[in-house]
Structure 1
């Protein structure tokens, strides 16, 4: 059964580009785990206070792919880069 996710990402202060760079790297791994990036959007400068910097819609063919992506050693190796750029992440399972 497919897993569809809405991912909201908040950048640390003035780290929007670093967040995007990190996401470029980890999103490139999705296909190896039967995952697909359906949509990726960034909020515009001047967005309402507290808005996420980036919003993603992601789909995996099933739980095994999602679990594999989350445990991918290449993704985990970028934890320091992520921690420097990403202040907060919220993930919601959704129906598209």
Structure 2
């Protein structure tokens, strides 16, 4: 796999609405990465436990798009409702 085919992401996840529920949701969603050729490279949490930073790599853009459209991911988010984390995703590259 060449680095040109990878999709590298940094996700900033705000868990403050319901920290425990948000962490459980993130655990479940991150477990779906494998089925889409995604890999969690780093998972970091702030000292107050309210924010996580994820570094995620997908082998292809198609894998990333399939992850976004995964019905299990959508169901988990719907189940959590207003307690679902707010996430900002940045597509990044190595320099």
TM-score normalized by the length of structure 1: 0.84
Measured after TM superposition, the shift of residue 82 of structure 1 is 5.7
Describe the superposition over 1:15-71 as per-residue Cα deviations: whole angstroms up to 9, x where unpaired: 1221110000010010110000000011002x8xxxx61100000011110011011
Aligned to 1:17: 20
Q: Output the aligned Cα RMSD.
A: 1.7
Does the 8 Å CA contact 1:40/1:56 hold for their aligned counterparts?
Answer: yes
- Corresponding residue pairs, total: 89
Question: Aligned residue for 1:61?
Answer: 59
Change (3 A) 1:43 1:6: same
For the pair 1:43 / 2:46, whether they are aligned, the reply is yes
Say whether residues 1:93 and 2:83 are aligned partners: no
Cα pair distance change 1:41/1:22, threshold 3 Å: same
Structure 1 moving runs of 4+ over 2 Å:
none
What runs of 5+ residues in structure 2 fail to find an aligned partner? none
